[in-house]
Structure 1
Amino acid sequence: MINGATVDGELPPLESLNAIDKWILSRWSQTCSQVTEQLESFEFSRACETMYHFAWDDLCDWYLELSKEAFASGNAAQSQRVLGYVLDQLFRLMHPVMPFITEQLWTVLTGQESLVVAQWPQAQSTHVDKESEALVTQLQEIITEVRRFRNDQGIKTSLKIPGRFVAPAHIAKYASAMAFVVRMELGDITASAKCEAAGVVVEFDLTGSIDVVAERQRLEKDLATATKDKQTAEVKLNNQGFMAKAPENVVVEIRERLEKTTSDIERITAALAGLPQA
């Protein structure tokens, strides 16, 4: 089973868990309660959508990603038990709409006879932890911003780059987990670029990681294109004759283009500012 997930023994005491484990338990309890209510109200489509977003977004996209460093280090006994608990309960919840695959996965995970005779999962109100949810939301914002920064700078996704997080203690505690996800090598560096998110500054040493001259030329070309597109949209929107005759859907499209180009200009300008000096 994935990452050594286990159902052996009791769930560890909540106070002994890290914020990432507390977060997935909190999200699971709320999802379980919500899906149960939706099924009892015959809102099957909404129930399936709720289960899908928990399984795909919360569990796979974020919990497993944020726990990779712990699993890789071999020091993940508590996280493996939490993962086992969540999978056990999730397979029970999904069984009515995905009976065959959940039956197979659950019996392999638990070693028990059949989901058909298993108890329906129960939400645990004591597992709801808004503080951990808020913290993980910050970690998500930081990771998303670092990924965006890497993409804007043209850094290969497979390349590890030196960097560090300048963050308060409650976030710095999870620096290694974030670094593992965004392929960053933590250490003392001479910073040549940075980005910011959730009140945290992330500094990088991009020496040797990118061709600064070529990247600056690419970004300047993209900026010129975005600026031209914005000016074209503004001219049309400021032309009263055009606005009086243009179909509504065309006007909406131009306004959306103006909004997108404005956002692109801000993003590219920030990327240029973040480039190290050649």
Structure 2
Amino acid sequence: GYDILFFWVARMIMLGIENMGNSPFHTVYLHGLVLDPEGIKMSKTKGNVLDPLELIDEYGADAIRFALTTGTAAGNNVRMSEGRLESSRNFANKLWNSARFVLTVIEREGVRDNWMNPDVTHLHDRWIISRLNTVTAEVNRHMEAFQFGDAQKEIHDFLWNEYCDWFIELAKIRIASGSEGNPIPVLIFTLERTLRLLHPFMPFITEEIWGILCESVGTPDDWEEALIVSEYPVMREDFYDIQSEEEMNLLFELIGAIRNIRGELRIKQNTKLNASMISPEYYQLLEDHKEIILKLAGVDLSLSEAAQSNSNVNSVTLVTTGVTSYIDMGEGADMATEISRLEEEKEEISGHAISLEKRLSNPGFVGNAPDDVIEKERDRLKKALERVERLDGILSKFN
């Protein structure tokens, strides 16, 4: 760690200048210390040392590598915990499962010849390519600044939250419906480019998937032999498409709001709801995506460009960017009971938040409690206040 390496670096620089006339290196990257889950420096005498070979056997080398470097800035210490390792392993599994889906689609549907330079005309394809381009630019910027943790987070969030959670689900619907604009070339292109971005951080799994993918799709004779010697992606101006990002974000916000309210009211996933939506500006966008909204949010739409009220005693009003929605929860929904339950939860959490605030404002507690205990209490207070705010927002939507 930096507590020892600094002196080694200083010694090397001084000896280099004294004996050779110049510094042996111009850039030094010092990482932080790897601490145990309690924030204590690992030591054999304390018995809190983790054996990396045992961890690799349990979680995999890539997961350990990712856990050590994700979300940390240069010089900052890292608390190595079981939860951190499991999260990294889950990410590796997510990557593998997304690749398996793409490979299955290739085997079933065949490969389009233009996957290396796909025809990007469909809104979904334009969006994911634009987002990939933005992430590529951000990753390169972070890498040049030696902010490797931030670079990894960009790739992690893009692959998990956008490519897997949204684009693959949208692609499934498009493939099943046989609509125009086959998403397979963009599925392959985006996965292949993401593997290149991720390779420095998770070299083994990305190399394995990349090799299988290239063998499945077929590559030209001058194609790179291995991912480790492949060209790293760079940003392309022609891939930016701000309009597609804005339109897709509008749809994601709408679908997410409906999913959240269904979850809070414990509406079963297979229960289809009716919804009236008013959007003078985005009427055509919603009309074009009625099937998508039905499949992903479980609501059958009735669209209107004019402002009108379609609420009833069993409806919930949602206001998202450019859209006002009235979601009919159906006759089977006991709205009074659900509202009462949410109000009771809000009252209970509010009381808990007040007790936490009193504890954290007590000089005796703050002055005597360990730093990690205080930090945990602050985190609990933050989560409690966020939940109260969320419940306020949900209750305000009921008519």
Q: TM-score range by the shorter chain?
A: 0.7 to 0.9
> How much has 1:107 moved relative to structure 2?
1.2
- 1:221 corresponds to 2:344: yes
- 1:187 corresponds to 2:302: yes
Task: Structure 2: give runs of 5+ residues left out of the alignment.
Answer: 1-102, 304-309
Q: Provide the residue aligned with 1:128 in structure 2.
A: 240
Question: Is the 2:207–2:226 contact (alpha carbons within 8 Å) kept by the matching residues of 1?
Answer: no
Pick the aligned partner of 2:386 from 256, 263, 268.
263
- 1:26 corresponds to 2:26: no
Rate the CA distance shift 1:187–1:137 in 2: closer, same or farther, 3 A.
Answer: closer
Question: Is the 2:143–2:151 contact (alpha carbons within 8 Å) kept by the matching residues of 1?
Answer: yes
Which structure is higher in RCO with an 8 Å CA cutoff and minimum separation 6? 1
Rate the CA distance shift 1:124–1:78 in 2: closer, same or farther, 3 A.
Answer: farther
Q: Provide the residue aligned with 2:185 in structure 1.
A: 81
> How much has 1:39 moved relative to structure 2?
7.2
Matched residue of 2:331: which SS?
coil
Question: Is the 1:11–1:81 contact (alpha carbons within 8 Å) kept by the matching residues of 2?
Answer: yes
Q: Provide the residue aligned with 1:6 in structure 2.
A: 111
Rate the CA distance shift 1:5–1:265 in 2: closer, same or farther, 3 A.
Answer: farther
Greater Cα shift, 170-179 or 127-136: 170-179
Question: Is the 1:161–1:184 contact (alpha carbons within 8 Å) kept by the matching residues of 2?
Answer: yes
> How much has 1:24 moved relative to structure 2?
0.9
For the residues of structure 1 that align with 2:210 and 2:125, how far apart are their CA atoms? Answer: 23
For the residues of structure 2 that align with 1:156 and 1:37, how far apart are their CA atoms? Answer: 44
Report the residue type matching 2:186 in the other structure. Answer: V
> How much has 1:22 moved relative to structure 2?
0.7
Q: TM-score, normalised by structure 1?
A: 0.75
- 1:157 corresponds to 2:269: yes
Rate the CA distance shift 1:48–1:234 in 2: closer, same or farther, 3 A.
Answer: closer
Report the residue type matching 1:11 in the other structure. Answer: P
Report the residue type matching 2:188 in the other structure. Answer: G
Matched residue of 1:156: which SS?
coil
Greater Cα shift, 225-234 or 55-64: 225-234
Question: Which is richer in helix?
Answer: 1
For the residues of structure 2 that align with 1:244 and 1:111, how far apart are their CA atoms? Answer: 62
Deviations 1:18-65 (A, max 9, x none): 332111111223344555677789887766554443332321122123
For the residues of structure 2 that align with 1:91 and 1:244, how far apart are their CA atoms? Answer: 46
Question: Is the 2:339–2:395 contact (alpha carbons within 8 Å) kept by the matching residues of 1?
Answer: yes
Pick the aligned partner of 2:254 from 119, 142, 150.
142
Question: Is the 2:318–2:326 contact (alpha carbons within 8 Å) kept by the matching residues of 1?
Answer: yes
Q: TM-score, normalised by structure 2?
A: 0.56
> How much has 1:67 moved relative to structure 2?
3.7
Greater Cα shift, 21-30 or 46-55: 46-55
Rate the CA distance shift 1:145–1:91 in 2: closer, same or farther, 3 A.
Answer: same
Question: Kindly, what percent of the aligned residue pairs are identical?
Answer: 24
Rate the CA distance shift 1:102–1:205 in 2: closer, same or farther, 3 A.
Answer: same
> How much has 1:206 moved relative to structure 2?
0.7
For the residues of structure 2 that align with 1:268 and 1:174, how far apart are their CA atoms? Answer: 29
Matched residue of 1:116: which SS?
coil
For the residues of structure 2 that align with 1:237 and 1:95, how far apart are their CA atoms? Answer: 44
Q: Provide the residue aligned with 2:45 in structure 1.
A: none
Greater Cα shift, 52-61 or 3-12: 3-12
> How much has 1:204 moved relative to structure 2?
0.9
- 1:105 corresponds to 2:213: yes
For the residues of structure 1 that align with 2:248 and 2:385, how far apart are their CA atoms? Answer: 30
For the residues of structure 2 that align with 1:145 and 1:117, how far apart are their CA atoms? Answer: 43
Q: Provide the residue aligned with 2:353 in structure 1.
A: 230
For the residues of structure 1 that align with 2:270 and 2:254, how far apart are their CA atoms? Answer: 19
Rate the CA distance shift 1:69–1:252 in 2: closer, same or farther, 3 A.
Answer: same
Rate the CA distance shift 1:264–1:5 in 2: closer, same or farther, 3 A.
Answer: farther
> How much has 1:133 moved relative to structure 2?
2.0
Rate the CA distance shift 1:115–1:37 in 2: closer, same or farther, 3 A.
Answer: farther
For the residues of structure 1 that align with 2:149 and 2:190, how far apart are their CA atoms? Answer: 22
Tell me which structure has the larger Cα radius of gyration.
2
Question: Is the 2:174–2:182 contact (alpha carbons within 8 Å) kept by the matching residues of 1?
Answer: no
